[in-house]
Structure 1
Amino acid sequence: MALSHNNIQENPKILMIIIFLFTILFTPNSNALSCHPIDKQALLHFKKMITYDPSNLLLTWNSSTNCCTHWRGISCHPLSSRVLVVSIPGVFTDPSDSPVDTLMSGKISPFLANLTALRVLDLNNLKRLHGRIPPELGHLSNLHSLFLDSNNLAGPIPDTFRKLTRLRDMYLGNNRLSGPVPPSLFDNFTSLLHLGLSDNRLSGILPSLMSKMVSLTDLDLHGNNFSGSIPESIGELGNLVRLDLSENQLSGAMPESIGRLSRLEEFDVNSNFISGRIPRSVDGLSSLQFLRLSNNRMTGDIPGSIGSLPKIRSLVFENNRLAGNIPPAIGNLTALTDMYFSNNQLTGRIPPEIENLENLQTLDLSKNKLTGAIPSGITKLQNLQSLDLSFNPLRLKTVPDWFEKLRVFRLLLTGTGLEGSIPAWLASSSISTLDLSSNHLTGKLPAWIGNMTSLSSLNLSGNGFHSSIPDEFKNLTVLSDIDLHSNNLSGSLKPIFSKTSEFARGHYDSVDLSGNMFSGDIDAGIGEEPGALDFVESLILSGNPLEGRIPKVLGKLSYLRVLELVGNGLSGGIPAEIGSAGNLETLLLSRNDLRGEIPEEVMNLEYLQKFDVSENKLSGRIPPHKKPIPASAFAGNPQLCGAPLPPCKRL
């Protein structure tokens, strides 16, 4: 969960009241007093320190006009004419109500501290404000809201901010702030409602003084380098609605006091080093809707008390070390829409109570140790869109017939012990992602696969299919990812590469046909134009008895990052046109019958990281190159010479 100051606008009724009050109280009239000279000079100094303003946000700021009535983004008190609001955000709507996203370069002037009546300072999302936050801003004792997020500010959070005791909102996220947060801030921010410090480089431990921020409703510290454990005192923040501590270096067990946060709706600690059990006190989180604990080191079982969260919508526990059975109490969570329990050590059967989760849309139990029959009551989950049971020792043998009643768009049963042929009922399904890889399926690819016109991703790799690709394959017009590697498929590649595609969909992103028995001329198989390959990023055809030359058309694939043609029996030279595939990172052409010199254009691809042309019949001097390519990448070509191989002999 990323917290931004836009959260304030979530309730339109509150927003209307704020706008109304500001309109009545603070909109200057024709008889308004002139802008206070101290404030005017402070604002002009701010403008002076701005070096780039492409949208002319500060065009109206000049010494000859009244800053209260003519300056953009400035609001003043109608009696004292002291500046109350400075609001120059980088994203706004123009007079035609169209969104504008702009920027501003420069440093924040310390003279803004002279705006002693200031209540709102909003310089968010200007992107290029840099330098340190002036400590002088800590003297703005009347400040209620400070928005400096989404800039390029660096250095520490000023200790002087402890003086901002009236502050309600402080957003400093998405900058380059570093160092520990001054403990005095937590001690003095008793009126603070929203604190956003995410996506910086802040460090240190979370102090127990956090408990002093008793008014806090939103706390977002994600994407920093905070370490240590979550303090027990976190339970004192009884008004918290959103708490995001994700993507830090927090460790230790989660405190039981977390269960006292009865108003908490979102709790996110993913991507830390949290260990220990899920607290039994979790049932005290009666308002909780989103619980994300993924990518930690949590152990123990999932407590039955998890079934006492009446409003929970999302449980994300993936990539931990949770063990034991999935508690039957999980069936009590009728508001649940997403359950991600993958990559843990869960055992036993999938509880039949799961059929009670009438709103469930995503069920991911992959990469566990679940056994036994899949409960047929899953067919009652009419909202289920994605089902992933991959890499569990379910020993399915066959896909249960009742799966036909599911309305899922994603079905993943990788490594679940399937045998025999692909179930024919798939022909009439609306599945867009089908993964039956790493099983023991055999037989021919059926012609009816062409009826699965909703398929966008197909993975049948690691099975025993033995046939050619049926011509009906060309009907899969939205297919963008195909993985058929490690089968016994044969015949021409043409049915795969000549398929039609829709205008915006159906262009391949990735193709892996390696480790099969496809044959024929590779050039004829791919064709003279990119066609469905025009946006492909990964093309892997290794380990097939192909023949012919490397197609020059591959040089037209401007999005291509990975090209692997290892052990294909290819002949001829390496076409210089490959050097036009400017995004190539991996180029593997080893164990073929390639001849001639290595083109300089290929050796100097800008993003090339992996390169291997070993075991060919290449000759001549290896072109000069900047990439650290090992000698092994050129081995087995007796006629090659030059770095990193021995130098060429002079004639």
Structure 2
Amino acid sequence: MASQLLCFLVLLTLTTICKSKSCHPNDLKGLQDFKSGIHSDTSSRLSKWIGRDCCKWEGIFCSNVTKRVVSISLPGLYTSDDAPIQSAMEGELSPSITFINYLEVIDIGDLLGITGKIPSSIGLHLPNLRKLNFVRNKFTGALPESICMLSKLEELYLQENGFSGFIPWCIGGVKNLRRMDVHSNKLSGVIPESITKLKKLESLCLQENVLTGDIPENIGNLQELKETKVYVSSLPELQSARGGIPLPSKPGKLSSLSFVRLQNNRLSGTIPSSIGYLTSLQRVSLASNQLKGSIPSSIGNLKLLEMLYLSYNQLSGQLPRSIGGISKLLYLSISHNMIEGPLPREISSLSNLQSLDLSFNRLNMSTIPKWLMQLPLLSRIYLAGCEIHGEIPDYIPKSLLELDLSANHLSGRIPAWIGSFSQLYSLNLSKNKFVSEIPSTVTNLDILGVLDLHSNKLEGSVNAVFQIKSRFAEGSLTYLDLSDNNFSTGVEQIGMGGQEYIQHLNLSHNFLKGRLPTSVETLKTLQTLDLSYNGLGANLPTSLANVTALERLMLHKNQFTGRIPEEFLKLNKLKELNLSDNLLEGKIPYGKPFLDFPQSSFSGNRGLCGKPLLPCKS
């Protein structure tokens, strides 16, 4: 009888618990403390956390079996009524979150404003955690070693915070880890060797920290690795044996690897021929390192490769002919190396190539190969500093989006057919020997965003450039540099055309005369204006004060007269100012930002006075 009574009481208790709408006390405490730590929530999701039935709260998910909270999902970017919403929270993460000890997912990424640290006991109290996402917040402090106890953790996203200290030496203990991204923090020290024990690791992103030392040699043992983004900065002097690229020495290893990004390090030595074993590679970036030697012919084995970036190294020799066998290649960049000519004709087989950057090598091209310009999909061509002579050949495809032929020995006129580039967004012909005027057909380039013609021998008017009308309502021309030429007229057209969205305008070192027009005020997005070393005169237009986005204003070495308008004090974003060597007079406007600039910003004007120059005479 007693045993039956006991069973009845137990059953009654369980029934009461099952019917209860109250959370487990630990879960409720953890969630309430989390809410208390947040003082701002633009999504208003936390304001709906009312009552004690936390399993019905927005962003909270509970197990049907245990009735315990297993997921906190409050991402900053989420969908509501089929519309994307970017929300933010401000406050500090409560360490009480570890009370919710059945948690499998914590996703509070992209909330932008949550501070605090990862609780030091996270590995002890959250043994079931599979996903931890703190991306793009303001977390600081070290990564606690107890993370290594999270044996079920599969995804770790801590990028774009302020974490510091070392990557835990025991990280190899997180045996189920598939994705690890801690880029853009302040982590230091070496990459722990134990990371090579993460046999299930598919993606590893460590870039933009201050890590030192070598990439572990045994990283080639990670058979599931598909993507590596390892940027190691502040490295000591490396020997090629350990400072080189740690690739497998035989086929079969890293067979799933599809992305390798090792740019912006101090990797030395050569590109190993064993790179040809990685036949799953789709994207490779080894740019901005200290790699030497030739590009191995085994690169041609990478039949799936779409992007190859090798710029800013010390690579030499010729491009291997085998490169023509990479039929899927879309982007090829080998600029700023010591690659020698001639170019292998096999490049003409790259029928899918869209972007080609051969700039600043030792190619000594003399002329642009016609066969190179016949690649059917080529839309971005960068051949700066390739020792090209003569005039621009008319067989350059007119479907280009970007063309850079700067720093060569091109001469003659800029051809009138340049206006037939109907899709051209960026044109750089600077540092050549072009003469005569800018052709009027340039006005046909109605989606042009970047035009750089500086350091030539062009003359006449700049008017044609200011007549470019964008086919888009929001405009397109954002960067214009015509400096260091022989232009003499057209400055009165500034602000009269379709330049409302221009950000950088440089007409310095010419022979421009006349006055700066009041229409300059229409350039609302202008950040840099450089008209120095010309013959411009008359008063400074007061309307220039309405260009409040200005950060750099260079008007020195002209003949401007009159006073500096008091309204210029509205230019509160100015970081650099030079009005020296003009004919300005009167008191310099007093206040920010002018008080931040040295005497040299105003010197050479005999009539100016007041800070930072000598006081004005009463």
Q: Same fold (TM over 0.5)?
A: yes
Q: Residues 160-559 of structure 1: matches in 2 within 5 Å?
A: 160-163=121-124, 164-186=126-148, 188-270=149-231, 272-274=233-235, 275=238, 276-281=243-248, 284-406=253-375, 407-426=377-396, 428-504=397-473, 507-523=476-492, 525-526=493-494, 529-559=495-525
Secondary structure of 1:377's counterpart equals: helix
Which amino acid in structure 1 is aligned with residue 103 of structure 2? Answer: L
Where structure 1 has 5 or more consecutive residues not aligned to the other structure, the ranges are: 1-30, 103-126
Q: Alpha-carbon deviation of 1:207?
A: 3.0
Secondary structure of 1:532's counterpart equals: coil
Q: Alpha-carbon deviation of 1:383?
A: 1.0
What is the match of residue 36 of structure 1?
Answer: 22
Which amino acid in structure 1 is aligned with residue 512 of structure 2? Answer: L
Q: Alpha-carbon deviation of 1:34?
A: 3.1
What is the match of residue 575 of structure 2?
Answer: 609
Q: Alpha-carbon deviation of 1:176?
A: 2.1
Secondary structure of 1:448's counterpart equals: helix
Provide the C-alpha distance between the structure 1 equivalents of 2:324 and 2:467, rounded to a whole number of angstroms: 43
Work out whether 1:648 is the aligned partner of 2:613: no
What is the match of residue 104 of structure 2?
Answer: 144
**Does the aligned pair in 1 maintain the 2:22–2:53 contact within 8 Å?**
no
Which amino acid in structure 2 is aligned with residue 150 of structure 1? Answer: D
Provide the C-alpha distance between the structure 2 equivalents of 1:44 and 1:100, rounded to a whole number of angstroms: 24
Which stretch shifts more, 77-86 or 347-356?
Answer: 77-86
1:572 to 526, 538, 562: 538
**Does the aligned pair in 1 maintain the 2:307–2:331 contact within 8 Å?**
yes
The verdict on how the C-alpha distance between 1:213 and 1:464 changes in structure 2, with shifts beyond 3 A counting, is same
Q: Deviations over 1:549-582 (max 9, x none)?
A: 0111112211000000012101101111111000
Which stretch shifts more, 468-477 or 73-82?
Answer: 73-82
Number of corresponding residues: 587
Provide the C-alpha distance between the structure 1 equivalents of 2:295 and 2:69, rounded to a whole number of angstroms: 59
Q: Deviations over 1:373-431 (max 9, x none)?
A: 011211111111110011112111111121221231110111110110001112x4211
**Does the aligned pair in 2 maintain the 1:139–1:160 contact within 8 Å?**
no
**Does the aligned pair in 2 maintain the 1:456–1:506 contact within 8 Å?**
no
**Does the aligned pair in 2 maintain the 1:313–1:338 contact within 8 Å?**
yes
Secondary structure of 1:425's counterpart equals: coil
Secondary structure of 1:348's counterpart equals: coil
Instruction: Please tell me the root mean square deviation across aligned C-alpha atoms, in Å.
Output: 2.2
Provide the C-alpha distance between the structure 2 equivalents of 1:285 and 1:85, rounded to a whole number of angstroms: 33
Secondary structure of 1:518's counterpart equals: strand
Secondary structure of 1:450's counterpart equals: helix
The verdict on how the C-alpha distance between 1:266 and 1:599 changes in structure 2, with shifts beyond 3 A counting, is same
What is the match of residue 639 of structure 1?
Answer: 607
Provide the C-alpha distance between the structure 2 equivalents of 1:503 and 1:370, rounded to a whole number of angstroms: 40
Secondary structure of 1:399's counterpart equals: coil
What is the match of residue 27 of structure 1?
Answer: none
Which amino acid in structure 1 is aligned with residue 45 of structure 2? Answer: L
Provide the C-alpha distance between the structure 2 equivalents of 1:67 and 1:506, rounded to a whole number of angstroms: 51
Provide the C-alpha distance between the structure 2 equivalents of 1:596 and 1:623, rounded to a whole number of angstroms: 13
Q: Alpha-carbon deviation of 1:192?
A: 1.3
Provide the C-alpha distance between the structure 2 equivalents of 1:254 and 1:47, rounded to a whole number of angstroms: 41
What is the match of residue 98 of structure 1?
Answer: 83
State the TM-score, normalized to the length of structure 1: 0.86
What is the match of residue 11 of structure 1?
Answer: none
Q: Deviations over 1:20-39 (max 9, x none)?
A: xxxxxxxxxxx972312655
Provide the C-alpha distance between the structure 2 equivalents of 1:332 and 1:502, rounded to a whole number of angstroms: 44
Provide the C-alpha distance between the structure 2 equivalents of 1:75 and 1:227, rounded to a whole number of angstroms: 36
Q: Alpha-carbon deviation of 1:436?
A: 0.5
**Does the aligned pair in 1 maintain the 2:74–2:109 contact within 8 Å?**
no
The verdict on how the C-alpha distance between 1:51 and 1:570 changes in structure 2, with shifts beyond 3 A counting, is same
Q: Alpha-carbon deviation of 1:489?
A: 0.7
What is the match of residue 9 of structure 2?
Answer: none
The verdict on how the C-alpha distance between 1:287 and 1:49 changes in structure 2, with shifts beyond 3 A counting, is closer
The verdict on how the C-alpha distance between 1:641 and 1:167 changes in structure 2, with shifts beyond 3 A counting, is same
Provide the C-alpha distance between the structure 2 equivalents of 1:146 and 1:184, rounded to a whole number of angstroms: 16
**Does the aligned pair in 2 maintain the 1:537–1:561 contact within 8 Å?**
yes
**Does the aligned pair in 2 maintain the 1:33–1:79 contact within 8 Å?**
no
Secondary structure of 1:208's counterpart equals: coil
**Does the aligned pair in 2 maintain the 1:352–1:377 contact within 8 Å?**
yes
Q: Deviations over 1:108-154 (max 9, x none)?
A: xxxxxxxxxxxxxxxxxxx32422x3333323332211223233333
What is the match of residue 7 of structure 1?
Answer: none
The verdict on how the C-alpha distance between 1:44 and 1:417 changes in structure 2, with shifts beyond 3 A counting, is closer
The verdict on how the C-alpha distance between 1:159 and 1:543 changes in structure 2, with shifts beyond 3 A counting, is same
User: How high is the sequence identity, in percent, across the aligned residues?
Assistant: 40
Secondary structure of 2:165's counterpart equals: strand
Provide the C-alpha distance between the structure 1 equivalents of 2:505 and 2:171, rounded to a whole number of angstroms: 52
Provide the C-alpha distance between the structure 2 equivalents of 1:587 and 1:195, rounded to a whole number of angstroms: 46
Q: Alpha-carbon deviation of 1:45?
A: 6.3
Which amino acid in structure 2 is aligned with residue 409 of structure 1? Answer: S
Which amino acid in structure 1 is aligned with residue 575 of structure 2? Answer: Q
Q: Deviations over 1:225-276 (max 9, x none)?
A: 2222212222111110011111111111212110101110010012634551
Which stretch shifts more, 503-512 or 356-365?
Answer: 503-512
Q: Deviations over 1:201-221 (max 9, x none)?
A: 222222331111111111111
**Does the aligned pair in 2 maintain the 1:234–1:257 contact within 8 Å?**
no
Which amino acid in structure 1 is aligned with residue 601 of structure 2? Answer: A
Provide the C-alpha distance between the structure 1 equivalents of 2:599 and 2:510, rounded to a whole number of angstroms: 26
Q: Alpha-carbon deviation of 1:60?
A: 4.7
Q: Alpha-carbon deviation of 1:301?
A: 0.5
Provide the C-alpha distance between the structure 2 equivalents of 1:521 and 1:472, rounded to a whole number of angstroms: 16
**Does the aligned pair in 2 maintain the 1:32–1:78 contact within 8 Å?**
no
Provide the C-alpha distance between the structure 1 equivalents of 2:71 and 2:183, rounded to a whole number of angstroms: 29
What is the match of residue 25 of structure 1?
Answer: none
**Does the aligned pair in 1 maintain the 2:69–2:100 contact within 8 Å?**
no
Provide the C-alpha distance between the structure 1 equivalents of 2:64 and 2:405, rounded to a whole number of angstroms: 70
Provide the C-alpha distance between the structure 1 equivalents of 2:132 and 2:507, rounded to a whole number of angstroms: 54
**Does the aligned pair in 1 maintain the 2:366–2:388 contact within 8 Å?**
yes
Q: Alpha-carbon deviation of 1:545?
A: 1.1
Which stretch shifts more, 206-215 or 48-57?
Answer: 48-57
Secondary structure of 2:225's counterpart equals: coil
Which amino acid in structure 1 is aligned with residue 537 of structure 2? Answer: S
What is the match of residue 6 of structure 2?
Answer: none
Provide the C-alpha distance between the structure 2 equivalents of 1:37 and 1:238, rounded to a whole number of angstroms: 38
Which amino acid in structure 1 is aligned with residue 156 of structure 2? Answer: L
**Does the aligned pair in 1 maintain the 2:307–2:329 contact within 8 Å?**
yes
Secondary structure of 2:366's counterpart equals: coil
Which amino acid in structure 1 is aligned with residue 387 of structure 2? Answer: G
Secondary structure of 1:554's counterpart equals: helix
**Does the aligned pair in 2 maintain the 1:278–1:302 contact within 8 Å?**
yes
Work out whether 1:128 is the aligned partner of 2:65: no
